[in-house]
């Protein structure tokens, strides 16, 4: 029987450095119960374990509740969170839902190979069906390439740079995804931070700049999710 351990093991996420591992062994030898934790390296790791646990529960929830529609992720890079979502989909979907990924694949971050090729390799290496991939800027792929009905959407399109530019991108995603969300659907906003409520690293303030005014006159509100030092928010479609 498969367990949810793939949350931590599907990719080598948050692997401690050699120095941190040695320090923890020394602390254990000395009988000290405290342990050092490697800080999140958002350049390489993209998500921490708390964020992945949130994703697991949200995806599982919409499947168990029978919320109709496909899964979409806007901003997928090499597909680490997408592969986890697809794993849950294959395990718990009866039948599994169609899944759509959207990315320009133009920002390589730390890679020295084509981003989309690495994404497809990551799915095949884990024996997962490769989702339908829509390559291009969001103003090219949205809304025409979106499925008509969406059960779970993950907006994770942080790219650094000017927060107002980022807010405009997030706003475009919201404008086109929101009307297609089924009742009960979950919309997850990566990097939605409210430091006044929970102390976290606000790496992409454009997310909240877009989301708060978007939902100001709608029946839904963005709910803060605990994500350790990182940040997430979720909206459940009425």
CA atoms of 105 and 134, how far apart (whole Å): 10
Radius of gyration of the chain (CA): 18
pTM as predicted: 0.92
Both tokens of residue 136?
């291009």
The tokens 């790219």 sit on which residue?
A: 159
- Could you tell me what percent of the chain has a pLDDT over 70? 97
Q: What is the predicted pLDDT for the residue at 201? A: 87
What average pLDDT does range 170-192 have in this prediction? 98
CB neighbourhood size of 46 (10 A): 23
Angle at 56 between CA 54 and CA 57, to 5 degrees: 70
Q: Is the pLDDT of residue 41 over 80?
A: no
DSSP state of 31: T
Residue 127 near residue 91 (C-beta atoms within 8 A): no
CA atoms of 152 and 132, how far apart (whole Å): 15
Angle at 40 between CA 73 and CA 162, to 5 degrees: 60
CA atoms of 102 and 55, how far apart (whole Å): 18
What average pLDDT does range 26-42 have in this prediction? 84
Nearest partner of 210 among 152, 165, 161, judged by Cα: 165
Q: What is the CATH number of domain 42-236?
A: 3.40.50.150
Question: What is the H or E stretch that residue 75 is in?
Answer: none
Q: Is the pLDDT of residue 217 over 90?
A: yes
Q: What is the predicted pLDDT for the residue at 139? A: 93
Q: What is the predicted pLDDT for the residue at 57? A: 97
Q: What is the predicted pLDDT for the residue at 68? A: 98
Q: Is the pLDDT of residue 14 over 90?
A: no
CB neighbourhood size of 95 (10 A): 7
What average pLDDT does range 166-177 have in this prediction? 97
Q: Is the pLDDT of residue 43 over 70?
A: no
């Amino acid at each position: 029987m498969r367990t949810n351990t793939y949350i931590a093991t599907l990719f080598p996420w948050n692997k401690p450095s050699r120095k941190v591992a040695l320090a923890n062994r020394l602390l254990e030898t000395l009988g000290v119960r405290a342990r050092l934790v490697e800080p999140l390296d958002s350049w390489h790791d993209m998500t921490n374990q708390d964020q992945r646990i949130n994703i697991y529960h949200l995806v599982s929830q919409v499947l168990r509740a029978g919320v109709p529609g496909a899964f979409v992720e806007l901003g997928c890079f090499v597909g680490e969170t997408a592969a986890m979502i697809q794993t849950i989909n294959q395990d718990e979907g009866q039948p599994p839902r169609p899944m759509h990924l959207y990315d320009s694949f133009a920002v390589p971050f730390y890679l020295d190979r084509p981003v989309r090729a690495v994404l497809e390799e990551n799915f095949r290496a884990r024996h997962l069906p490769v989702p339908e991939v829509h390559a291009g800027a969001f103003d090219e792929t949205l809304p025409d390439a979106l499925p008509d009905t969406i059960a779970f959407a993950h907006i994770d399109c942080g790219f650094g740079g000017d927060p107002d530019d980022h807010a405009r991108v997030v706003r475009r995603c919201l404008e086109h995804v929101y009307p297609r969300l089924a009742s009960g659907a979950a919309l997850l906003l990566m990097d939605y931070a409210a430091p006044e409520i929970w102390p976290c690293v606000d790496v992409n303030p454009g997310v909240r700049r877009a989301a708060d005014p978007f939902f100001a006159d709608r029946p839904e509100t963005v709910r803060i999710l605990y994500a350790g030092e990182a940040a997430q928010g979720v909206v459940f479609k009425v």
